[in-house]
Structure formats: C-alpha cells, structure tokens
Chains A and B, each alone.
Chain A
Amino acid sequence: MARLPPLAPDVTPGVAPVVAAAPALRDIAWVFLSIGMQSFGGGMTAWIRRDVVQRRGWMSEQTFVGGLALAQITPGANGVNLAVFVGTTLRGRLGALAALSGMLLVPVIAVLALGAAFTHVRDVPGVESAMAGLGAAAIGMNVANGLRMTRRGIRKPWAAVLMLAIVAAVGIAGVSLLLALAVAIPLALWLAGRAEGVGS
C-alpha cells in the first residue's frame, strides 16, 4: 500500500488548501484505485472531487470544475475522462496512465467476475431491491456534490440563471445534450466576458 501525505480530517467541512507540489505517480494510482473500488452505483465524479479537491488539495475547485466541464463535453464516460484530466494536469502523460489504470483495474476484474457469477446471483431475492436502494443513494451523492460545487462555481446571478436553465432544458425538458451545449457554451463565454468588462 502506497504511503500518502496526511489527509484533511474527515470531520472538517470545507476544502483542503491546495498543495503546491505535484503528487507522486504511485499516490495518484493509489487514490484512483481506491476510487475505482468504492464507486458503486455511479457518482464517480463525486468520488474524484472528494479525494482530489476536498481531502488532498491536489487541485483547486476552479481547476477541477473546469476539468469536469471538459470531461462532460468530450465523448466518453465522465468519470473516466475526469480521471485522465486529473492525471494529465498533475503529472502529464504518466499521470494520466496512473489515474486511468488505477481507476479501471478493480472495476474491470469485478465486472467480469460478476458476469461469471450472475446466473447464480440474479434470482436471489432482495438483490434487485438492494441495488435500487444503492442507486437512489448514489444519485443523492451526485446531487450533494453538485451543491458543494455551487459554493465556488456559482458566484454571480448570471451563473445561477444559466445553471438553472441547463437543469430545466436537459434534466426536465429533455433537450439533447449537443444542442444544449451548442447554445450554452457560447452564451456562458459571452456572459463571463461581459461580467469581466463591467467589473474592470
């Protein structure tokens, strides 16, 4: 087990201060290995934020949320993309490899093992109910993570309005993601630029 620098204690709310030195490759691999093992029911981006921003201070909230946006915009699973973003930002190509392989190692083995055992597990009573409960809790983890990010990510009225518009369009009205992004990103850049111009 790799030895890691001390954590921000779990009892302190808020966010660890950002550390200056880039973490060692084995620390990156270990942290993403533990994320990969724990992220049942989805919510990988929430797990990554918890470890990388909140507990270890490997990057600022602002850098993280920017990376989250890139991970969402580019094709591929958001959690996997975000792992590659974090690894790349911290330690370049090798950091990306450490984060990616660390995060996928256990889930790949687990999914293949579960696949082999599935015909026996499928009909055990209660398994489906437990999975549904876990899924409901995992959705809550995503929402909680979103709420935490609003503290630093949403500071101006235009940002709050834009965020709510995206929730309504994509989450409620079912507007396609590509269309929503094509409208929202230019609009957001314009609004951010305008706010800057007014401020200076």
Chain B
Amino acid sequence: MTLILWRLAGLFLMLSLLAVGSGNAVIPEMQRTVVRDFHWMTDRDFLDLFAISRAAPGPGSLIVALVGQKAGGLLGAAVATVSMFGPSCLLIHFAASLWHRYRDSAWRERAERALAPVAIGLIFASALALVHGTEHGFAAYALTAAATLVLALTEWHPLWVMAAGAGAGWLLGL
C-alpha cells in the first residue's frame, strides 16, 4: 500500500510539471504508466475514468483523483491530487507574485500587450482542437455556434446555455 502511494506521488509530481498547455497534454503518458507499467487498471477502465472526469464540473485533470482512488482508495486519491496540482500551482503562484511586483513597470505593460494576442489565439486554437477531437457532426457544430452567439451577444447565465446544450444533445442523439 505504501509502495502504491509513493508510486502515485512520484508519477503525478512528475506529470504535474510536464503538463504544458493543459492537463490533457499528459493523459497518454498517464494511461501508459498506470495500465502498462503499474497494472492498476485496464485501458477500458482508464477510458471510463476519463469520461467521468469530463462529466464532473471542474478541470479535466481531476482524472488523477480517480486514478488515485482506483489504485489506493481515498488516501490514494488525496496523494494523487496534491501531487498533480502542487508543483504547477506553486510555479504559477511564484510567477504571479513576481508579475504582481512589477505591476507598475513599463515592461510589464508591454508584455501584457504582447501576450494578449497569444493568449486569445490559444483560446480559439484549443476550441478548434476540441472540435476536431470530438468528431463534431453538423448538429454539434450548430450547437457550438449557437452557444457562441448567445454567450458573446447576451448576458444570459451560461448554466442555462449548458443545460440547453445537454438537452439538445439528448434530443438529437449526438
């Protein structure tokens, strides 16, 4: 049991700092390690956990809590979650502190103006990647477009739009 906890900690402490861009970047490596190296579950099990983490609110990288739970119970879930989020959160905390210290400097102002198009471009790029990855059919494209229009042009609460999307997906049999 202790060995499992150490392995969980070691795996996710490492993956935490490798997940550049988003938590999704390390999913294939995670799957390989927990299925092939540690034999904690089958590929099918891992895909189930992936689906669950997408169904729950919050970041998709919470799949690590499920992997930890599967391998080592609630304690495993806690170890996996803290290991996955700890290093990356410390890093962004220090970066943000440093960034905040220079809030009135000219170079930060310039860096913000330089980074804005990069940040916004990546938002659109990840939306495109998601559209490709989920094999959008015509109905799904229409849903995405409708949600985009409503949320860009009105101040309706997004939860209603999400609920309408789920209802439409169910009715259309997406």
Contacts and interface: CB of A to CB of B under 8 A. Distances in A.
Interface of A: 10-13, 36-47, 50, 62-63, 65-81, 84-85, 88-89, 92-93, 96, 100, 103-104, 106-108, 110-112, 114-115, 118, 122, 126, 129-150, 152-154, 159-160, 162-167, 169-172, 174, 177-178, 181, 184-185, 188-189, 191-193, 195-196
Given A80-B88, A141-B147, A146-B120, A47 B158 contact: yes
Contacts, number: 361
Given A81-B88, A166-B118, A66 B112 contact: yes
A153 B124 CA distance: 14
B75 interface: no
A114 B55 contact: yes
A134 B66 contact: no
Contacts of A193: 110, 114
Given A67-B96, A75-B19, A112-B66, 17 more contacts: A13-B155, A65-B116, A68-B119, A70-B115, A84-B89, A85-B92, A104-B59, A115-B69, A118-B52, A130-B166, A131-B55, A133-B174, A137-B147, A138-B147, A149-B116, A154-B120, A189-B114
Contacts of B140: 132-133, 136
Interface string B125-153: 11111110010100011011111111110
Contact of A162 (B20, B117, B144): B117
Instruction: Output the residue of B49, B51, B56, B119 with the most chain A CB within 10 A.
Output: B119
A185 B112 CA distance: 11
